[in-house]
Structures are given as C-alpha cells and as structure tokens.
Amino acid sequence: MAANAYDVIVIGGGPAGCGAAIALARRGFRVLLLEKARLPVHKLCGEFLSVEVMALFERLGVAGAVRRAGPHRIDETLVTTADGAAFRSPLPGTGLGLSRRTLDRLLFAHAAAAGADTRDGVTARALTGSLASGFSVTTTAGTFTARLVLGAWGRRGRLDRTLGRRFLAEKTPFVAFKAHFEGLEIPGVVELHAFAGGYCGLSHVEDGRVNVCWITHRDRLREAGGRPEGMIARTFGEHAALARRFGRLRRVTDFCAVAQISFAVKGPMEGDVPMIGDTAGMIAPLCGDGMAMALHSAEMAAAHADAFLRGRADAEAFRRGYPRAWRDAFAGRLRLGRWMHHGYVRPLAASLAVRALAGMPALGRWLIRHTRDAAQT
C-alpha cells in the first residue's frame, strides 16, 4: 500500500473523530486522523460529560484514563430563571466535569496508541471521491487517499461549503463563549441559569476550576458592546443568582467564542461521506449530551465502516444503513432539544417551564431521559 493510502481518513479530532479512529484502528484498519488545531487547546463547551458517556468510554477502552485525568463528579442539576424560578434534581447517575483541553488530548493520544496515524496541526481543505472509487483528501500537509472518509469536523467548517451542504443556507443567530474561573465552590452540581435571549452553564472541571459557558442571541451580545465582559455585566443585573455566583469568580483562561451555532439536522451522509458528531447535527447545549452523541455516532459509523471495508456490506447498504441507524437514534432527541432551547431563551416560557418542573419532578426526569440514550445507561 502507498505511504499516503489508508483504509479510512477521519477529518476532525474531537470526541467523534477520535472515537471513530480508536474503534477502527483497534479493528486493524489503517486509519489517518486529521486535526487542524495543535493540541492541547481550550475548546468552547460546557465540559459536562453526561451520565451515559462512561459506558461509551468503557467500550472504547478509555474509561480508566478518563478517571485518572481527575474529572469532577457531578450528580445533581440546578436550573434557574431570572425571575427566581428554580428546579433542582438528582441526575440519573454520575456525570463528569472534564475540560476539553484534557479530554480531547487524551482521546487523540489513545487513537495514536490504538495504531491510527494521528496528525494535529493539519487542516483538510478539500475532499473528492465515492465509496465505489475511493477518496482523495487534500490537506495542508499533502494529499492522502482512502477507501472511506468520515466527516467529524464539528459544527461548521470550510468542508461544509466545499460539499455545498444545505444547512449553511439557514442563518442562525446564536453565539457562545466560555472561560475557566477560580474562586467558587459548587461541588457535584451542573447549573443552568436562563436570561432573556440565552443561558449560562456552570460546573466544575478538574483542578477545582469552574467552567462557565454562555449561549446567547447575537443581538444581546451586540447590545452589550460585542464583548463577553459586557455581556456578563449585563446579565448580572437581570439575574440575582448568577450575579451572586459571579461576585466570587476570577477568570484564569482567555475566552473561547464561536458564532452561527446551528441545531439543524445537517444529515448523517453527504454524497458518500458519512458524518458523525456535530457534523451530522448538534443537540442544544442545555441537554448536555453532545459529546455522548458524538461518541455514540462514531461507534455506530465504525460498525458500518467495518462491514463495508471487509466486504460484508456493499456501498448501497452503507449509504442506506448508517443514515437509518443515525436517524433512529438521534432525530427525535435533536428535535426535543431544539424545542427546549427555544423555550428556555424566552423569559416567560422559561419561567413557566421551570416552575412546572419544580412542581412535577417526574416531568424533569422524563425530559432528561428523552434527551438521552437510555441504551447507554
């Protein structure tokens, strides 16, 4: 086999891409994993790993390493609104707080240890080909070929434009930013505080730090001068519980920010390229389940890829089978997550919903269950 030829090229080294690369390299395939950032890097995320992630980590063979990385254990959630409504509930198990800087580096290293050729600091610029003829991927480090390419480049990127993906036509008004802070102790709880046009999540990660992550309508950010600091100051005035938290916090990292956050179903297959994780569709952040979905879709795609690469399933079976499995597993959850997001960013709807949850805790448990994959717990 030529030096630049692989069975599979995985584009993107987040949880989805690393999960797929680990699973396929362990099965003995020649895998190239491309990541445009030089690791480790801070990434925009609430950094809350939902309860069902641990089962996925166990199957991937990384659970021990994740535990050794010192994640914060989280078994309770607190949801509030600016007018003082609050709902506190135990989680259906123990979730984890771990920074993406630590988690993504750990998963990338495991992909290398599993036998994948891992390259960070390398950007995929274009891709052509089909399941019948094979693929060619042009990158900042040369051109590579493979029988299969998996799209794992996350929320939105240049390859979406190259492939002419339809979701790009939908303009989305949401922006998000996050940073790590010290000075506040909120052990064992993931907090979500709603304000007009957005919400803010707080929870501990390793080393006692608190990750604070906001998502908001871009108009709200504009009104606040376009800067995270302005946005924080503005939200203080509206939300007493959030203001109390912030009075004690000291920022220890720069802000990470992203714009144009879409909760659309982008599609699990584009041409002949299977998409995994956020590249197929991202669940609204308030569900706290994006990383579990990324890892789960990677596991599903790896099983379909295995059958195709070993000749047990032809190209047509792959084209039909993976998207069907993806839709069965995720389409309903993505829809429910979208409704919850759009309700929670509207003060009246958020207040009514949180008061209803406080009065009917069973409804809260139902929502948690239906935005999650029960099969993983």
Ligand X SMILES: Cc1cc2nc3c(=O)[nH]c(=O)nc-3n(C[C@H](O)[C@H](O)[C@H](O)COP(=O)(O)OP(=O)(O)OC[C@H]3O[C@@H](n4cnc5c(N)ncnc54)[C@H](O)[C@@H]3O)c2cc1C
Site residues for ligand X per CB under 6 A: 11-17, 34-37, 44-48, 50, 123-124, 152-155, 157-159, 176, 213, 215, 261, 277-279, 282, 285, 288-292, 294
At closest approach, how far in Å is the CB of 310 from ligand X? 25
Pick between residue 151 and residue 364 the one whose CB is nearest to ligand X. 151
Closest distance between ligand X and the C-beta of residue 36, in Å? 4
Cβ distance 62 to 143 under 8 Å? no
3-state helix, strand, coil in the chain (%, to 5): 40, 30, 30
Of 31 and 313, the one with the shorter C-beta distance to ligand X is: 31
Q: Which two tokens stand for residue 359?
A: 């009065």
Report the residue number, 213 or 357, with the smaller CB distance to ligand X. 213
Segment holding 124, helix H or strand E? strand 124-130
Q: Taking the complex as a whole, how short is the minimal distance between the CB of residue 156 and ligand X, in angstroms?
A: 9
Q: Is the Cβ of residue 195 or residue 313 nearer to ligand X in the bound state?
A: 195
Give the list of residues 6+ apart from residue 204 with CB closer than 8 angstroms, or none: 72, 74, 97, 186, 187, 210, 211
Q: How many Å apart are CA 49 and CA 71, to the nearest integer?
A: 9
C-alpha–C-alpha distance, residues 62 and 66, integer Å: 6
Task: Give the nearest distance from C-beta 203 to ligand X in angstroms.
Answer: 8
Q: Indicate the residue among 105 and 313 with the shorter CB distance to ligand X.
A: 105
By three-state DSSP, how is residue 77 classified? strand
To the nearest whole angstrom, how small is the minimum distance from the Cβ of residue 127 to ligand X? 9
Alpha-carbon distance values, 292 to 50, 53, 111, 371 (Å):
7, 5, 18, 11
